Structure 1
Amino acid sequence: MEIIPFTNMQSFSILLVSITFALCYIFKPKWQAKLQKAKQPSLPPGPKPWPIVGNLPELIKCKRKTSVSHWIHTFMKEMDTGIACIRLGNVHVIPVTCPEIGLEFLRKHDAVFASRPLTMASGVLSKGHLTTIFSPLGDQWKKMRRVMASEVLSQERHRWLYEKRVEEANNLVCYVHNQCRSGDGGGLVNLRVASRHYCGNMMRKLVFNRRYFGEGKADGGPGFEEEEHVKAIFTSLAHVYSFCISDYLPFLRGLDLEGHEKIVEEATMVMDKYHSPIIEDRIQQWRDGKTNEPQDLLDVMISLTDDNGAPLLSTNEIKAQINEIMIASVDNPSNALEWGFAEMLNRPETLQKAIDELDNIVGRDRLVQEYDFSQLNNVKACARETFRLHPIAPFNPSHVSVCDTIVGDYFIPKDSHVILSREGLGQNPKVWDKPYEFKPERHLQNCNKGEEVVLAEPGLQLFTFGRGRRGCPGVVLGSCMTIMMFARLLQGFEWNILTHQETIDLSQGKGVPSLAKPLLVVAKPRLPPNVYSLAG
């Protein structure tokens, strides 16, 4: 066989191809990794982070001048994006203002984002994350979620507590009626006090079967103890929803550079001061056999047993969960009532439509009841519009991702904190016409088709109550409390702005979701005297 010799060029070509294949084999893993990285979706858009600390310098700067939520919403509007990424320390915080992307997080990827961060405020309030809302994903959360959904806030339990809810609705009417007795022209009513007092009374009645921790006031109003209790609840809420630097740089915890830890601990101590003696005494009553039939939600929690007949919940679990129930129940309805009445008083025609509806459906010979709610679409539209325009907090509690995932064509790393914007969803100009205007009629469009207005929002075009695995188990109770306050106060009294005012000032308080000044208005009875005596 004749061997054909290679020319120099042929030899060089063969050598070059051999080297190329060898290099490809050696560096193939690196090339594949780079190729995969190039194909991987990027993080959502956002401000460029600094090394190590991320965007914490911008956060600290904006907290001195404005609010973190204002800074986030401003740059998202400038970028024209419905999802963004802010890196605080090593944590990727993902704010969302787009309903479609929000639904993708809470519906398609619900299981991935079903955990919670371990923050300073939530840890103190929940006594080490023993509760439903603040616990990270795990056995403790599953246990408490099951207790709340099937035992404490079930439909059956809701029906069982009906009389207590009626009692507190009656007490609200009596309290406001007592404020009207100062003269024929009506009396001055502080609607912030009235709404928070009603919500605090309601939860104390449902949980402890008592309206007051102390004596209360002769006019049915809150005493010092109730005022201190509600103040502690709202102080705690303000810090649960705040951006605390030590939550993103854990090595700073204990130093309490912002003073948040001390504030939250003191507020929790106030709640414990009133809750703990009642809880401990009631537990002892059950142990001694002095109590064997539940009369309230505290009894329900104490009476629960496991498969071996032992108490299902520890004393600390009960205390922590009751703290959380109080915090989660008092804020939304009372905030909506004050803002809603302020908006309606500035729009007398809207106020009158709701009153006319109550007169037509309920009349003036009896007080509105829960069974009337299904027909009160105007009243509910006013409440729903208030939730849209004036949410209790800029963002919902964070959802933490348990693994890397892709949402909305963006890469969301494991341990990211996803925060749905209540403001951004409810005031999104791509969703709502004239988003900054109070227009309850926008929620009545489908009523002609027989659809009922409800406060919950499955489409996430506004944020009323949480949904998904981390959804609010108290939707029915929260809706009921809100509608009852609106309906009873609209039906029972004629409302007027103070004589020296032309309109209600709708300025928001600095760093808080409430009105800058408590809503003071004049109330005058509009029902026959015997109706108020029935409430008493």
Structure 2
Amino acid sequence: MNISAYAAILPNTSSLIATTVIKTKLSFLAASPLSAFNAFVVSTFVVLYAVLKSQQSSRKISKQLGRLPPGPMPWPVLGNLPEMLSHKPVFRWMHRLMEEMDTEIACLRLGSTHVVSVTCPKIAAEILKKQDAVFASRPESMAARSFSDGYKTAVLVPHGDQWKKMRRVLTSEIICPARHKWLHDKRVDEADNLVRYVLAQCGVSRDVNIRTAARHYSGNLIRNLMFSKRHFGKGMPDGGPGIEEEEHVEALFTALGYLYAFCISDYFPCLEGLDLDGHEKIVKEATMTLKKYHDPIIDQRIQQWRKSGDSNNTEPQDLLDVLIALKDSNGRPLLTSDEIKAQTTEIMMAAIDNPSNVAEWAMAEMINRPELLQKAVEELDRVVGKDRLVQESDIPHLNYIKACARETFRLHPIAPFNVPHVAMSDATVAGYFIPKGSHMLVSRLGLGRNPKVWDEPLEFRPERHLSDGYTNVVLTEPDLRFISFSTGRRGCIAASLGTTMTVMLLARLIQGFSWEKSLQAPGIDLSESEHDLFLARPLNVRAEPRLPLHLYPSF
């Protein structure tokens, strides 16, 4: 064996490639006639050489370009992977680490990838505003590739022509003011269906599962906007979700939970297929579930549009029709069927989580402190009255309701981090060197609970959003003191839809019903889940109608 030949390979490679070389060589050694002792000597040499080059590379970066943000000492080749694997969930370990180090920017190394976490609004603004063009890409990952069908969408796609194409489609055709107005009636239908469903629960046991109701509303609404149908099956007699809808919503939340979940193979691609942490199986199953429900509808609709010959009498009825009907400059379909399917899934994923999470947490906090709930009720009675149901046109005047939603975004974000950004070139942030290819994680949790920004950050206090001179409270947060809808080139482009869904869901629940703790529980449990940021247990509370019965939509 010629050791110098392999040594010549390694100097110009990353530690990740070195790992791949080592793995290949060990496989060769196992099949060769070398003695166990010689195999051990050779493999040890290769590993030590890779370690040396990795350390030299790190020292070179530090010496020539500046120091990295503070962080734990990485292991050779592996980086901080051992710590990542032994501390679950990873996001809690990362935030504890930053608190112990008393830093608002920290850097881990996972394999050859630098992962930078930020909990300071000013540093976040450097990334998402000042140097937005530098950090305008997305990391490649097993889950993102699966849910975007090979990066065919707008949100999960790395920077490039495909992202520009799909983002242009969304901004000009899907998430635009004209389209928002066009879909008004469908949104109202789902707000009515929410009230109808909760009223049905009141007639059975008076106990209402807010998580089910909120996710049911969000799932119904986006299915209605996308497909002009709220159910894949027959649904339930009380208007609630059937087995199909429950499976669909569960798959969407599973997809969101595993999208950027620190999968081992995302940092060591040579290990993909081994499924060492079980993520790949879960992602595959969720993808298959979503395709099972989406693809037949999309295929049938495409066929209908093609058969119609794009007749002038054919008018789009929903967002799926809009995607299918788009044409390029030559009059051909702008999007392939695969692009339509992938973008449909991404729209579903983007719409379902924030409104339902805000509603459940806000209701839990307010029922736990009845004086807050009473203020919201008084605002609705003052602005809307008791002789009609709250409508979207009332949203600009519901400042306390929106303050409750803002406070929930701040204190109880749906995810610990924003969707990751990738440095497309070397950069400097907060005086620290950020190597090209680094993954930038802006912490929703860290921003919203930063004691340097917020007084008593762990207390739910909606009034803090009314004391800054707001005459019209909005859910967006331009100063990045928390994140509701992200900003910049890769920011959320559907803030209007997200605001409407969130406020209408919360307002209809508060206006339509009186709420109190369930008789089956001693109080409201505000504990967070060990694994994510949801309530540890779904919110079950008692409800009864508080408006004249003729105002409630009937089945």
TM-score, normalised to structure 1, is: 0.90
Structure 1 equivalent of residue 505 of structure 2:
485
Partners of 1:148 and 1:514 in 2: CA distance: 29
Which one of the candidate residues 368, 384, 392 is aligned to 1:370? 392
Asked if the contact 2:354–2:414 (Cα under 8 Å) also holds between the matched residues in 1, the reply is yes
Structure 1 equivalent of residue 407 of structure 2:
385
Structure 2 equivalent of residue 497 of structure 1:
517
Structure 1 equivalent of residue 185 of structure 2:
163
Structure 2 counterpart SS, 1:330: helix
Moved more, 285-294 or 215-224: 285-294
1:389-468 map, 5 Å: 389-446=411-468, 449=469, 451-468=471-488
Which one of the candidate residues 217, 223, 247 is aligned to 2:236? 217
Per-residue CA distance 1:489-520 (angstroms, 9 max, x = gap): 10000001012434201112221221111111
Asked if the contact 1:105–1:407 (Cα under 8 Å) also holds between the matched residues in 2, the reply is yes
Per-residue CA distance 1:60-116 (angstroms, 9 max, x = gap): 1112xxx11111111111111111100000000000000000001111100000000
Partners of 2:86 and 2:230 in 1: CA distance: 44
Structure 2 equivalent of residue 137 of structure 1:
159
Q: Offset of 1:442 from its aligned partner?
A: 0.5
Structure 1 equivalent of residue 22 of structure 2:
none
Q: Offset of 1:473 from its aligned partner?
A: 1.2
Which one of the candidate residues 189, 196, 200 is aligned to 1:174? 196
Q: Is 1:252–2:271 an aligned residue pair? A: yes
Asked if the contact 1:241–1:393 (Cα under 8 Å) also holds between the matched residues in 2, the reply is no
Partners of 1:450 and 1:267 in 2: CA distance: 42
Which one of the candidate residues 278, 282, 297 is aligned to 1:263? 282
Partners of 1:106 and 1:239 in 2: CA distance: 23
Structure 2 equivalent of residue 48 of structure 1:
73
Asked if the contact 1:389–1:427 (Cα under 8 Å) also holds between the matched residues in 2, the reply is yes
Asked if the contact 2:135–2:422 (Cα under 8 Å) also holds between the matched residues in 1, the reply is yes
1:327-366 map, 5 Å: 327-366=349-388
Aligned amino acid, residue 361 of structure 1: V
Aligned residues: 494
Structure 1 counterpart SS, 2:116: strand
Residues 229 and 37 of structure 1, relative CA distance in 2, 3 Å threshold: closer
Aligned amino acid, residue 195 of structure 2: V
Which one of the candidate residues 529, 533, 536 is aligned to 1:509? 529
Residues 500 and 227 of structure 1, relative CA distance in 2, 3 Å threshold: closer
Residues 522 and 307 of structure 1, relative CA distance in 2, 3 Å threshold: same
Aligned amino acid, residue 66 of structure 2: P
Structure 2 equivalent of residue 11 of structure 1:
none
Structure 2 equivalent of residue 15 of structure 1:
none
Residues 367 and 45 of structure 1, relative CA distance in 2, 3 Å threshold: same
Per-residue CA distance 1:233-291 (angstroms, 9 max, x = gap): 01111101311111001100011111111111111111111100100000000000077
Aligned amino acid, residue 483 of structure 2: F
Which one of the candidate residues 191, 194, 202 is aligned to 2:221? 202
Partners of 1:504 and 1:188 in 2: CA distance: 13
Structure 2 equivalent of residue 530 of structure 1:
550
Structure 2 counterpart SS, 1:201: helix
Aligned amino acid, residue 453 of structure 1: V
Asked if the contact 1:304–1:311 (Cα under 8 Å) also holds between the matched residues in 2, the reply is yes
Structure 1 counterpart SS, 2:358: helix
Asked if the contact 1:241–1:395 (Cα under 8 Å) also holds between the matched residues in 2, the reply is no
Partners of 1:444 and 1:375 in 2: CA distance: 13
Structure 2 counterpart SS, 1:232: helix
Which one of the candidate residues 71, 74, 82 is aligned to 1:57? 82
Q: Offset of 1:38 from its aligned partner?
A: 4.7
Partners of 1:366 and 1:241 in 2: CA distance: 43
Partners of 1:259 and 1:76 in 2: CA distance: 28
Partners of 2:271 and 2:526 in 1: CA distance: 38
Structure 1 equivalent of residue 10 of structure 2:
none
Aligned amino acid, residue 62 of structure 1: H
Partners of 2:485 and 2:151 in 1: CA distance: 21
Partners of 2:114 and 2:359 in 1: CA distance: 35
Identity of aligned pairs, percent? 59
Asked if the contact 2:61–2:67 (Cα under 8 Å) also holds between the matched residues in 1, the reply is no
Residues 37 and 380 of structure 1, relative CA distance in 2, 3 Å threshold: closer
Structure 1 counterpart SS, 2:552: helix
Per-residue CA distance 1:469-501 (angstroms, 9 max, x = gap): 000111111111000011001000000101243
Asked if the contact 1:117–1:398 (Cα under 8 Å) also holds between the matched residues in 2, the reply is yes
Residues 209 and 500 of structure 1, relative CA distance in 2, 3 Å threshold: closer
Partners of 2:428 and 2:260 in 1: CA distance: 26
Asked if the contact 2:62–2:68 (Cα under 8 Å) also holds between the matched residues in 1, the reply is no
Asked if the contact 1:345–1:497 (Cα under 8 Å) also holds between the matched residues in 2, the reply is yes
Structure 1 equivalent of residue 347 of structure 2:
325
Partners of 2:387 and 2:241 in 1: CA distance: 28
Structure 2 counterpart SS, 1:189: strand
1:13-162 map, 5 Å: 38=63, 40-63=65-88, 67-162=89-184
Aligned amino acid, residue 442 of structure 2: L
Asked if the contact 2:141–2:260 (Cα under 8 Å) also holds between the matched residues in 1, the reply is no
Q: Is 1:226–2:245 an aligned residue pair? A: yes
Aligned amino acid, residue 317 of structure 2: Q
Q: Offset of 1:396 from its aligned partner?
A: 1.0
Structure 1 counterpart SS, 2:203: helix
Partners of 2:361 and 2:431 in 1: CA distance: 38
Residues 332 and 35 of structure 1, relative CA distance in 2, 3 Å threshold: closer
Partners of 1:352 and 1:501 in 2: CA distance: 21
Aligned amino acid, residue 508 of structure 1: E
Asked if the contact 2:144–2:260 (Cα under 8 Å) also holds between the matched residues in 1, the reply is no
Asked if the contact 1:396–1:421 (Cα under 8 Å) also holds between the matched residues in 2, the reply is yes
Structure 1 counterpart SS, 2:324: helix
Aligned amino acid, residue 263 of structure 2: C
Asked if the contact 1:498–1:521 (Cα under 8 Å) also holds between the matched residues in 2, the reply is yes
TM-score, normalised to structure 2, is: 0.87
